[in-house]
Structure 1
Amino acid sequence: MTATFDRRVKIAPSILSADFAALGPECRAIEDQGCDWVHVDVMDGHFVPNLTIGPAVCAALRPHIRTVMDVHLMIAPPEPLVDAFVDAGADMLTVHAEATDHLDRLVAQIRERGAKVGVALNPATPEEAVRYVLDKIDMVLVMSVNPGFGGQSFLASQVDKIARLRALIGDRPVHIQVDGGISPKTAGQVVAAGADVLVAGSAVFKGGSVDQPAVYGDNMRAIRAACEAQAGAA
């Protein structure tokens, strides 16, 4: 991950919606079509009701990702696997506040390994859960669906949380990422509230493929256009 911080809107396609039989080519395709980060959803079948990929797959994907490998750990407890995911090449490692009893210690553990640190909040978790680690982290991830599955509908209740979080962060160099139900219909409102990293799965990958990657580019441009339209209307 580059050292320069900025709040320009970044698109981070979730490969949860990609073709799992061609994840390497899929990562190259979305990067070629203009994505900013590659979002990797890790689920353990325990903290969330689904099971996806682990450190070995992340390590296999690392040579295919030129931008930012943004790894979202939906696992509990996360502490035993921090080293494995950092060793696999995660640039940003995001853990859930709800998945640990010692968030400050966990943040320090990730930081000591040299990765950027994100903290995720489930829809029912208030922004206050990150107040005391804001000076130690690089990103807060607001879940705008209940985690565990792709393709869910956006929870509008999270827009106000994003705005409150933006005020709480102040001038700290901390990104606000939003994950869940992001599309051209919802992207503008979360950016207006203060988000600057948008995770989108089906909204990016729908209709395209490794053989038809231009569709991915069209889908991402539609999301960016919605954000720009909202900014112009403000």
Structure 2
Amino acid sequence: MIQIIPSILVPDEATFIAWSQSVEQILPMIQLDIADGKFVPNDTWADPDVVSERLHIDCELHLMVEDPLEEIRIWEEVPQVKRVLVHYESDPDNIADILSQVQSYGWEVGLVLNPETSIDVVDDLIEDIDALMFMGVVPGKQGQRFIPETIERIQEARKRFPHLFIELDGAVNEETLEDIVGSGVNAVCPGSAIFGNERKPAENVARMRELIEKLTKD
């Protein structure tokens, strides 16, 4: 079944602790969004020491930054980090070297594609990555509308790379799941559909799991 890896994009430590603790008993992994205010307009809170001390499940880092290699150095000693996701657009000319250096830390490596980036760029990088993540929105903020062409991109990637772990981040909610399930994606990374709305995060996770199971059977 499709995995749920909630995306946590927060401005401060208190919000991170509250949101992560709300799901750590029911999920094996979260995604921590790290934005530098340059690669994307906003910046986010992310403190390796706090994550190391306070997070009790695994996490993947989604690096929305201009210099991924500078960022990963401060996460080397954080045992919860299992996968690091790097945007192709952060440095297209040197992306292969960046992915290789990330992998040298012992983490799984994921390549992230913005909506405007062709899937063709993966062809030369497929041996360097463990995962591929598609953005269903323009990255940097939660609550945007889903770009429907993303479904076709996922389907094409699944045909071309049948064994690759594929994730989807951006505008994942109960409405868009109807199109997402069946696309070939392995994991979804909902943000505002899980956190910061009228229901408790655990309830939102349960509802999403139930819907994924139903749509998978249908």
Q: TM-score, structure 1 length as denominator?
A: 0.85
Q: Name 2:59's counterpart in structure 1.
A: 69
Partner of 2:83: 92
Alpha-carbon distance in 1 for matches of 2:11, 2:192? 8
1:218 aligns with 2:211: no
Q: Report how far residue 156 of structure 1 moved.
A: 0.8
Matching residue of 2:98? 106
Offset of 1:18 from its aligned partner? Answer: 8.7
Asked whether 1:199 is paired with 2:184, we answer no
Question: Which residue in the other structure is 1:14 paired with?
Answer: 7
Give the aligned partner of residue 45 of structure 1: 37
Q: CA deviation at 1:73?
A: 0.3
Identical-pair percentage = 27
Gaps of 5+ in 1: 1-7, 209-214
Partner of 2:145: 153
Give the whole-Å Cα distance in 1 for the aligned partners of 2:5 and 2:133: 12
Contact 2:30 2:59 (8 Å CA) reproduced:
yes
1:159-192 alpha-carbon deviations (Å, 9 max, x no partner): 0000011112123xx3111111001111242231
What is the DSSP-based 3-state SS (H/G/I as helix, E as strand, rest coil) of the residue aligned with 1:177? strand
Distance 1:116 1:59, change over 3 A: farther
RMSD: 1.9
Q: Secondary structure at the match of 1:87?
A: coil
Q: Partners of 1:71 and 1:222 in 2: how far apart?
A: 25
Say if 1:226 and 1:60 are closer, same or farther in 2 by CA, change over 3 A: same
Q: What letter matches 1:15 in structure 2? A: I
Query: Number of matched residues?
Result: 215
SS in 1 for 2:134: strand
Q: Give the distance between the partners of 1:62 and 1:199, measured in 2 at CA.
A: 21
Do structure 1's residue 187 and structure 2's residue 172 form an aligned pair? no
Task: Verify the 8 A CA contact 1:131 1:168 in the aligned structure 2.
Answer: no
The verdict on how the C-alpha distance between 1:116 and 1:189 changes in structure 2, with shifts beyond 3 A counting, is same
* SS of alignment partner, residue 218 of structure 1: helix
Per the TM alignment, residue 37 of structure 1 is displaced from its structure 2 partner at its CA by 1.4
Give the superposition deviation at 1:216.
1.5
CA distance in 2 between counterparts of 1:140 and 1:119 reads 5
1:19-53 deviation digits (Å, cap 9, x = unpaired): 75242243122112x22311111111111111112
Q: Please give the alpha-carbon distance, in whole angstroms, between the structure 2 residues aligned to 1:20 and 1:154.
A: 28
